[in-house]
Amino acid sequence: MNTQNPPEPGASTATVSFPEPIEDNDILREKRRAGAALRRIIDGIITKHPEVDTMAALADRLEVLADSFNSMPDKAVRTSFGHRISAEDVRDFIEFSPLTGSANPVAAPLRLWTDNGRAVGSVTFGRSFEGAPGVVHGGFVAAIFDEILGFAQGFSGRPGMTGTLTITYRAPTPLLTELRIEGSYDGTEGRKIHTSGKLYAGDTLLAEARGLFISLTDEQYASVAAMQNSSTDD
């Protein structure tokens, strides 16, 4: 297994699937900061056991904060995807994805880069991702495979959407442990894009995956785009 260290946060990861990171700016910097704080709150709700009055006071404060967002303007939605996705939308997706997003409080988050033509990632799952005691829920393992294989398929030059995802679990995936995940583009047959991946803790193989992605036809692309436009008009 390649043990190359991940790049420093903000370092360039430019390829067909990994454009330059979003230019740092005041609002993004503060959203990342808020995302990190909310992860700590989520972890605290799960792992701490305060007195009822203390928890009630905290819940009151959180409700006030949540309500304060209602009057704020909406963030612009992404407008492209698949082989037509713009570099700007890829950058936005990475920042706000529920898996990779530093600015998304539900993300671990998974950090991505490239290494010798593969997609590679590093992630540490906290207690909010627990399934069996001390172990990452298998659904989250599947989710990070879907994410990294989705980026690996970008090496095909015409990425599509997930068709099938097959996970083989080799060992329990530990919480609070830095994990390394690798995704490879294995080839294309017509519109079918084949990928595979592995998840490690140190040198221990935890899980393997095979992903089949399907490139969209122009008609399918238009149909999905119409669904997106309809949802944003509501």
Say if strands 118-124 and 178-189 run parallel, antiparallel, or are unpaired.
antiparallel
| Contact predicate 184/198, CB 8 Å | no
Q: How confident is the model at residue 219 (pLDDT cuts 50, 70, 90)?
A: confident
Q: Is residue 208 part of a domain?
A: yes
Residue 6 lies in a domain: no
Contact 126/39 with Cβ under 8 angstroms? yes
| Six-digit token string for 26 | 């005041």
Contact 134, 199 (CB under 8 A): no
What is the average per-residue pLDDT within 18-47?
A: 85
Within a domain: residue 5?
A: no
Span of 116-125, 128-137, 209-218 with lowest mean pLDDT: 209-218
**Position 22 in a domain:** yes
The answer to whether residue 3 is domain-embedded is no
**CATH at 53:** 3.10.129.10
- What's the structural domain count of the chain? 1
Please return the burial class of 23, using the count of CB atoms within 10 Å of its CB with bins 0-12, 13-18 and 19+.
exposed
**Residue 10 falls inside a structural domain:** no
- The yes-or-no verdict on residue 88 having pLDDT over 90 is no
Give CA–CA dist 193/229, Å, rounded.
27
The answer to which of 29-38, 66-75, 200-209 has the lowest mean pLDDT is 66-75
* Distance separating alpha carbons of residues 182 and 161, to the nearest angstrom: 19
86 domain residue, yes or no: yes
User: Cβ distance 196 to 211 under 8 Å?
Assistant: yes
Residue 13 included in any domain: no
Which range marks the domain in which residue 208 is found?
18-234
Segment 17-42 shows an average pLDDT of 81
